[in-house]
Structure formats: C-alpha cells, structure tokens
C-alpha cells in the first residue's frame, strides 16, 4: 500500500524537539524531573494525583466504589495533575511515580512510612487487597480477573498511543498506521465482545477491578467519547460490549468517579479541585 510520505530512518535517531504535534511540548526521550514542584497533601489516608483520563478514571472509580461499600478508610484527597502543562515532571510527582504518568497514589495511612503505588493496574490490585473488595480470592476466579486486568494493560496502548495518536493527534494522516491500529482495536473489541457474550462482567458474574480498568477505555470508545472514532470503527456492531458499557456506566460510583479530577466540560460534570471524599453528595442521576 503506497504511503503519503516516505521516510528513511537515519543511522542514529535524534530528538526533534519541534515535532509539531499536540504533545510535542511534553514528550521527551529522557526520564526524571524537569523542575522542582512539591505535591500537595490533604488530610485523608490516601492522596491521589491524577486526571480524569481513561487511566485516571480507573482509580477514582475504585475509590468511589469502596466508599459506596462503606469503607471509610478509603477516603482520599484528589489532586489534578495537569499533564499538558508538564506537572507530571515535577520533582514531587516523579518521587511518587518515576515513570511520570498519571495516576499515582500515596498511601499515608502510616504518615511515617508512606507507600507509593504507581501504574493504574498496580493501584487497583493494591486497593483491592487492602480492602478485600473487587478481586476474587478463589484461585481460578482471581486468575481470570487478573488475566483480564493485564489484558487491558497490554491492549490499551494500541488503542491510545497507537490508534488514538495516528487517527486523532498526529500532525498528518497516514493510511498505513491508521489502518494497522484500527484493525487491532477492532480485534480487541471482538475479543471483549466474545467474552461478554458468555459472561455478565468481564471476569465472570461479579463486577471486579477488571471492569474498572477496561470500561474507561473501551466503554468510552463504544459511547463515542474517545477520539471521535465511533463511526469509523463501527462500534455499534459490538452489542455485548454496548450492554456491558451501559451496565457499568449506570453505577453511581462510576458516574461519580468520572467526575473526579475532571477539568473540562460542563461544570456540573467536574470535581476538579481538592475535595474530601466523605463529603460527596450521592448522585441520583448521571451528570449532565
């Protein structure tokens, strides 16, 4: 298939700081902090540093689900990290997550020995084990749940960094990468659809951290909220994914979790500032 532009890689790659795409100002080939910036700390046991992206929503949903079950020990302070402004490269954030990605969590239940947890999947497992919720203890069921959790961790980069980047964010549209990643995303949707044809939730009959991890990515895609690609990917054909998307999305804790650290859209759909989780009003209806 002919390309729009032909590129011959040089013998040694060099960083072009003026790449021109949406994330050029924050993407770089080195790790570590770019500036000194301490993280705020609130009064609750858990400090969540995040943003309401699909990866960030996973953890705020988990906290809200724990609170809905009455775990007052799961109260948390949520602090938005403005990733387009490069706040994830501040020294305080890097100390919690050396990979400079949201979400990052600091468990200060013992203030003298705080525990850092980074990578969304690791945070979900940590909280599930900490409170004994949303992760089965029976061996086969636990294996199924963790298998789907890690499926999401491995699959979503093809959806986001692959398809999403080339379809929505790249400065030029190239047929080959868009076609390549669209094919892979549709394959993933088919994997999920086949599973949900025989299972109420992803890991079985119970709602688990696997659903919390997968829903913010693939539910948003099926709902037309991700990359404006619903029609392009014919997402309506995945009936079982749509059924599951609606079921998970109707949960009050999920609706509330999607509002945490949200800094865009209608103000009624946002909880962008520091807040006390125990003070949240219950949501009788989905946010506008």
pTM above 0.85, yes or no: yes
Question: Is the CB of residue 175 less than 8 Å from the CB of residue 166?
Answer: no
Least confident of 21-25, 246-250, 283-287: 283-287
Distance separating alpha carbons of residues 105 and 124, to the nearest angstrom? 10
Tokens of 120: 């969304």
What number is the average pLDDT over the span 43-67? 96
The CA distances from residue 277 to 83, 131, 136, 229, in Å, are 23, 17, 26, 34
Question: Is the CB of residue 222 less than 8 Å from the CB of residue 230?
Answer: yes
What number is the average pLDDT over the span 39-65? 96
Query: Within the chain, which residue ranges are assigned CATH 1.20.1050.10?
Result: 139-255
Tokens of 165: 């980047």
Question: To 5 degrees, how large is the angle CA 48–CA 49–CA 52?
Answer: 95
Question: Is the CB of residue 65 less than 8 Å from the CB of residue 35?
Answer: no
Confidence of residue 74 (pLDDT cuts 50, 70, 90): very high
The CA distances from residue 254 to 10, 52, 191, in Å, are 47, 12, 23
Query: Within the chain, which residue ranges are assigned CATH 3.40.30.10?
Result: 46-133+265-274
Strand 46-50, strand 76-80: pairing = parallel
Question: Is the CB of residue 72 less than 8 Å from the CB of residue 131?
Answer: no
Strands (E), 21-103: 46-50, 76-80
Q: Which residues, 6+ apart, have CB-to-CB distance to 280 below 8 Å?
A: 64, 67, 256, 271
The reported pLDDT for the residue numbered 92 is: 97
| CATH code given to domain 46-133+265-274 | 3.40.30.10
Domain 139-255 class in CATH:
mainly alpha
The per-residue pLDDT for range 110-149, each reduced to its tens digit, is 989 999 999 999 999 999 999 999 999 999 999 999 999 9
Confidence of residue 27 (pLDDT cuts 50, 70, 90): confident
Whether the per-residue pLDDT at 283 is higher than 90: the answer is no
Whether the per-residue pLDDT at 19 is higher than 70: the answer is no
What number is the average pLDDT over the span 41-63? 96
What number is the average pLDDT over the span 257-283? 75
What number is the average pLDDT over the span 58-71? 96
Kindly state the greatest CA–CA separation across the chain: 60
Paired strand residues for 201: 204
């Amino acid at each position: 298939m002919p390309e729009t532009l032909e590129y011959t890689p040089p013998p040694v790659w060099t960083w072009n700081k003026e790449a021109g795409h949406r994330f050029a100002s924050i993407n770089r080939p080195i790790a570590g902090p770019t500036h000194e910036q301490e993280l705020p700390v609130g009064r609750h046991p858990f400090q969540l540093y995040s943003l309401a992206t699909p990866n960030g929503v996973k953890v705020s949903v988990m906290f809200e689900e724990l609170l809905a079950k009455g775990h007052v020990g799961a109260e948390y302070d949520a602090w938005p990290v403005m990733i387009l402004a490069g706040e994830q490269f501040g020294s305080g954030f890097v100390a919690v997550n050396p990979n400079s990605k949201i979400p990052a969590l600091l468990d200060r239940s013992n203030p003298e020995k705080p525990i850092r947890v980074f990578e969304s999947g690791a945070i979900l497992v940590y909280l599930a084990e900490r409170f004994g919720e949303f992760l089965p203890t029976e061996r086969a069921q636990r294996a199924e749940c963790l298998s789907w959790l890690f499926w999401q961790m491995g699959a979503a980069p093809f959806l986001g960094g692959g398809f999403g980047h080339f379809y929505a964010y790249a400065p030029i549209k190239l047929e080959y990468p868009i076609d390549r990643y669209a094919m892979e995303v549709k394959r993933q949707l088919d994997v999920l659809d086949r599973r949900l044809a025989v299972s109420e939730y992803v890991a079985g009959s119970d709602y688990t951290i696997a659903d919390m991890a997968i829903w913010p990515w693939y539910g948003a895609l099926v709902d037309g909220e991700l990359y404006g690609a619903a029609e392009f990917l014919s997402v309506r054909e995945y009936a079982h994914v749509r059924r599951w998307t609606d079921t998970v999305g109707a949960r009050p804790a999920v609706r509330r979790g999607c509002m945490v650290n949200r800094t865009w859209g209608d103000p009624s759909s946002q909880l962008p500032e520091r807040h006390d989780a125990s003070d949240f009003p219950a949501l009788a209806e989905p946010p506008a």
